Amino acid sequence: MPVFYGKEITSPLMLGTAQYPSPAILAEAFRASHAGIATVSLRREGGEGAAFHQLIRELNVAVLPNTAGCHGVKEAVTTAHMAREFFDTPWIKLEVIGDHDTLQPDVVALIEAARILCSEGFEVFPYCTEDLSICERLLDAGCKVLMPWGAPIGSGRGLNNIYGLKTLRAHYPDVPLVVDAGIGLPSHAAQAMELGYDAVLLNTAVAKAGDPVAMARAMALAIEAGALARAADPIEARDMASPSTPLMGMAVLA
């Protein structure tokens, strides 16, 4: 199971809490997913009030508040301070959005905000790209987890840059890595785990599915399968065929 900032999590699936048809379906989807972490937007909490907060508590999973919707350093840092006070946790999923259409991170502002928050005792989970130089600077800023995107948030496109994600995993074998955003199908989640990632964070793929509860269960099974496949040391892809049946002992025809 993944370990983030010294805390072992019960499942590699991290699930968001937005966009569900109803609070009851949200709770049922979480039970079906066996998710180890619930991500929560402070903005959403502000609109839902005490009832939503109580619902999150009843999920009985670790809570990771985020700075979703923030577009600058000051806004993200202020939101993180509010989240720490409200949720009583040093954890923060740090999002600083740079582009309105793709919701791609503003990596310059992200690094600066991460440096400030880490110096103030936050345990930062930065939503970033798979760029090695950016990730190195986030680690230098004090982050001990990296959360590169698979594809734009809510797009359901899966893993757009397999090479980049594989390179990041190889470059940082001991850093907890989470694929965050872009997951649309269970096969995408399984693929992330097969690459050796420690966890997958998703929301839209479950919340907006025709049957969120069934999709939550499917994601849980896919992540388990991907992790087992990685641990099993899968064969390497080949350009040529390799017969599975031995040639020795075959009949010799006259």
Report whether 189 belongs to an annotated binding site: no
Q: How many residues does the chain have?
A: 254
Catalytic residue check, 93: yes
Report whether 50 belongs to an annotated binding site: no
Which one is catalytic: 93, 144, 166, 208? 93
Report whether 218 belongs to an annotated binding site: no
How far CA 13 is from CA of 85, 95, 161, 198, 213, in Å, comes to: 25, 19, 21, 9, 14
φ, ψ for residue 138, nearest 5 deg: -65, -40
How far CA 29 is from CA of 15, 18, 97, in Å, comes to: 9, 12, 28
The closest of 154, 180, 223 to 64, measured between CA atoms, is 180
φ, ψ for residue 204, nearest 5 deg: -55, -40
Helix axes 107-119, 132-140, angle to 10 degrees: 20
Report whether 29 belongs to an annotated binding site: no
Report whether 181 belongs to an annotated binding site: yes
Question: What is the token pair recorded at 211?
Answer: 């049957």
Look-up of token digits 């009949």:
251
List residues forming the annotated binding site for 1-deoxy-D-xylulose 5-phosphate: 154, 181-182, 203-204
List residues forming the annotated binding site: 154, 181-182, 203-204
Residues with catalytic roles = 93
